[in-house]
């Protein structure tokens, strides 16, 4: 289960809408071991593509180092699909390399409805999980 | 001579859970070969026939080695090498 504050959920959706039709991507950092997403970190999609995303490597290093310095971990890794379902694709599964993270997918294929779903991806297996939006 | 190498969570199965290991070498390529002797199979996760794998990021101190000399990048005592799997995906 993913428990996420309303404002962080809204920020993710806003980011996805702003970058549409390119895929948006980013991280929610939280204190290590707590599974609590607290800090919103939108990332540059270095691929700048409507069908692919990749964190810029230098930016990723800086963010990961900062999380390490703050004793945080990536609780959520999110990205958007701009024309397809908010469900992990084959490439999403191939490159899901943070076994402790919740993988959040947003779809912006509909201009008024934002699909927001969360998954665990471990050892090439996808398990959808419920999302609880907290205050 | 020791170069500190930081290992991401997903590769710690090769290092008995250690998040940091040490190695020697005068280039990144030599360092990875040295690490592979102590932690068999690790190198193959980082390197393929074409050199460093496409979706693995390796940094010397705070620079992506793709912007330096890749596997030929010189390394020395006191350097820190960090490995981070790329975060990527897409519609298909």
**pLDDT tens per residue across all 135 residues of chain A:** 999 999 999 999 999 999 999 999 999 999 999 999 999 999 999 999 999 999 999 999 999 999 999 999 999 999 999 999 999 999 999 999 999 999 999 999 999 988 999 999 999 999 999 999 997
Distance from CA of B86 to the nearest CA of A (A): 7
Asked if the interface predicted TM-score (ipTM) of this complex is over 0.85, the answer is yes
Which overall architecture, per CATH, does domain A12-26+39-113 show? 3-Layer(aba) Sandwich (3.40)
- pLDDT at position B58 is 98
- pLDDT at position B27 is 98
Contacting residues of A for B92, CB less than 8 Å apart? 51, 89-91
**Fold adopted by B3-85:** Ubiquitin-like (UB roll) (3.10.20)
Whether residues B88 and A83 touch (CB distance < 8 A) is answered with: no
Q: How many CB atoms lie within 10 A of CB A48?
A: 12
Give how far the C-alpha of residue A36 lies from the chain's centroid of Cα atoms, to the nearest Å.
14
- pLDDT at position B50 is 87
Q: Is the pTM of this model over 0.90?
A: yes
């Amino acid at each position: 289960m993913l428990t996420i504050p309303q404002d962080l959920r809204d920020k993710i959706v806003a980011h996805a809408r702003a970058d549409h039709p390119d895929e948006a991507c980013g991280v929610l950092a939280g204190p290590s071991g707590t599974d609590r997403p607290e800090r919103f970190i939108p990332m540059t999609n270095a691929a700048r593509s409507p069908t692919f995303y990749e964190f810029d490597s230098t930016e990723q290093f800086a963010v990961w180092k900062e999380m390490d310095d703050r004793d945080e971990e990536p609780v959520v890794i999110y990205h958007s699909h701009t024309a397809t379902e908010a469900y992990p694709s084959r490439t999403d599964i191939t490159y899901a390399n943070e076994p402790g993270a919740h993988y959040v997918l947003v779809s912006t294929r509909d201009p008024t409805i934002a699909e927001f779903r969360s998954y665990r991806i471990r050892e090439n297996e996808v398990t959808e999980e419920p999302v609880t939006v907290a205050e | 001579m020791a170069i500190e190498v930081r290992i991401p969570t997903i590769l710690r199965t090769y290092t008995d859970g250690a998040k940091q290991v040490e190695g020697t070498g005068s280039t990144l390529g030599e360092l990875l070969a040295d690490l592979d002797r102590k932690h068999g199979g690790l190198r193959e996760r980082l390197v393929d026939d074409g050199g460093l794998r496409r979706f693995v990021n390796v940094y010397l101190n705070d620079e992506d080695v793709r912007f330096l000399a890749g596997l030929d990048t010189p390394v020395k005592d006191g350097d820190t090498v960090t490995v981070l799997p790329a975060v990527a995906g897409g519609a298909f």
